């Protein structure tokens, strides 16, 4: 358990934090105790996330292990989970502007016009819901794939490391989704031709910016996964490259399946 005020660990059964003296949730009513524990978890998690981002901002690859070792396994798991939640929220926010994960080419569908038109024809509410499900499915698949890769390739890490690696690797993808939030969709307003058919015009410059940005984001995510596997998960370097390729292939394939089934 962690202190709501200072974020330091509190020994089990203690009535007050030994560092700052604030009363713990164990001395409150059961409902108040649960609320206090959740508040403490959220407070410490957000604080740890900010500290991790400071390290990653200066050196994303070299600082990955350093940022992970700043926390005990429980706190590292929470930080990784917060990164995953941030990715899902970024997907939903981008969807509010009409930019979806599929629109960024992340489902191995870089030129399927019919799929693009299907997404363009969705209502905003259904588009946001689908973006939420795609983001959640992709993040969950990546976490599971990271854990399986660690087991299959005989790494010596733990579940907290899997969450952290997956969460950090999603940050570049969340960044390009936020770029999409600012730019808006790369599909213009629908038009009707002389035969009464509805067509959609692709805005080339937006499409180029989002696709090129996605390539950079995927490249960074790949490097972060490789660094995480070799430095945190304890996978041998000669196996880490195969692990990254396998995880990305499985995760993107699952995302593609989810997207097509949601149409």
**What is the DSSP secondary-structure string of 168-236?**
HHHHHHHHHHHHHHHH--SB---EE-TTS-EE--B-HHHHHHHHHHHHHHHHHHHHHHHHHHHHTS---
Question: pLDDT under 50 in the chain at which residues?
Answer: 26-29, 105-117
Asked if 140 and 241 sit in the same domain, the reply is: yes
Asked if 130 and 9 sit in the same domain, the reply is: no
Asked if 7 and 86 sit in the same domain, the reply is: no
Residue 197 backbone zone (phi > 0: left; psi -120 to 50: alpha; other: beta): beta
Residue 116: predicted pLDDT: 46
pLDDT digits (tens, 9 = 90+) for 26-81: 444 455 567 777 788 888 899 999 999 999 999 999 999 999 999 999 999 999 99
Give every CB contact of residue 31 below 8 A, 6+ residues apart in sequence.
none
Nearest to 232 by CA among 65, 53, 35: 65
- Number of domains present in the structure of the chain: 2
pLDDT digits (tens, 9 = 90+) for 126-135: 777 888 888 8
Asked if 18 and 144 sit in the same domain, the reply is: no
Q: What is the DSSP secondary structure assignment for residue 9, as one 8-state letter?
A: B
Residue 42: predicted pLDDT: 84
Cα 220 to Cα 186: distance, rounded to the nearest angstrom: 23
pTM: 0.77
């Amino acid at each position: 358990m962690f202190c709501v005020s200072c974020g330091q660990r509190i020994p089990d059964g203690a009535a007050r934090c030994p560092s700052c003296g604030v009363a713990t949730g164990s001395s409150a009513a059961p409902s108040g105790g649960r609320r206090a524990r959740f508040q403490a978890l959220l407070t410490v998690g957000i604080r740890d996330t900010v500290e991790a981002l400071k390290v990653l901002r200066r050196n994303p690859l070299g600082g990955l292990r350093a940022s992970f070792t700043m926390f005990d396994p429980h706190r590292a798991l929470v930080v990784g989970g917060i990164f995953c939640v941030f990715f899902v929220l970024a997907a939903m926010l981008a969807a509010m502007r009409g930019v979806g994960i599929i629109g960024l080419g992340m489902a191995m569908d870089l030129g399927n016009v019919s799929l693009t038109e299907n997404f363009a024809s969705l209502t905003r509410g259904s588009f946001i819901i689908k973006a939420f499900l795609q983001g959640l499915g992709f993040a969950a698949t990546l976490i599971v794939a990271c854990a399986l890769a660690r087991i299959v390739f005989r790494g010596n890490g733990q579940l907290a490391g899997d969450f952290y690696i997956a969460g950090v690797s999603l940050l570049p993808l969340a960044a390009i989704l936020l770029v999409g939030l600012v730019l808006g969709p790369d599909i213009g307003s629908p038009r009707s031709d002389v035969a009464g058919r509805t067509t959609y015009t692709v805005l080339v410059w937006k499409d180029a910016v989002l696709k090129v940005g996605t390539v950079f984001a995927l490249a960074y995510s790949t490097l972060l996964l490789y660094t995480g596997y070799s430095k945190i998960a304890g996978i041998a370097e000669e196996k880490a490259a195969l692990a990254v390729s396998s995880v990305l292939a499985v995760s993107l394939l699952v995302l593609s399946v989810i997207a097509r089934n949601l149409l």
